Amino acid sequence: MKIAVRYFTRSGNTEKLAKAIAEAVGTQALTTDEPLKEDVDILFLGSSVYAYGVDDNIKKFISDIDVKVGRVVNFSTAALIKSTYKQVAKLLKEKNIAFASEEFYCKGSFGPMHKGKPDADDIKAAAEFARKVVEG
């Protein structure tokens, strides 16, 4: 099974989750600056919320996907809203790419809000989530 992990982060919150997920499933976590170069069965895609929306880097990454993706699994951090799931789902639907119903979300620190998040427990939970997704 071919698995890829891509993420975009400004603060480093989503990067922490991406690295834990990648390690758990035996691949590398790369930023969305690295396009997919081959077909994948599962793409773990990490984003965070900026001004109540996913960053333009995520939008561009999805728009530029030109390989076969079995399904995308969302993971995200945010200080104010619950997740990026609905926004990413809409973008993937426009590209006719399958989107998993399961996702991983946790609070991310932003200024004085949610200091220390994601924490060690969040990172451990993200890794366990990824293993369960891959094991089916």
pLDDT 10s digits, 17-63? 999 999 999 999 999 999 999 999 999 999 977 666 788 999 999 99
Nearest to 123 by CA among 19, 41, 35: 19
CATH code of the domain made up of 3-135: 3.40.50.360
Cα separation of 102 and 57, whole Å? Answer: 22
pLDDT of residue 117: 77
Q: What is the pTM of this model?
A: 0.92
Phi-psi region of 81 (alpha: psi -120 to 50; beta: other; left: phi over 0): beta
Q: What is the pLDDT of residue 108?
A: 66
The answer on pLDDT for 79 being more than 70 is no
Q: Cβ neighbours of residue 70 under 8 Å, at least 6 residues apart?
A: 40, 41, 42, 43, 98
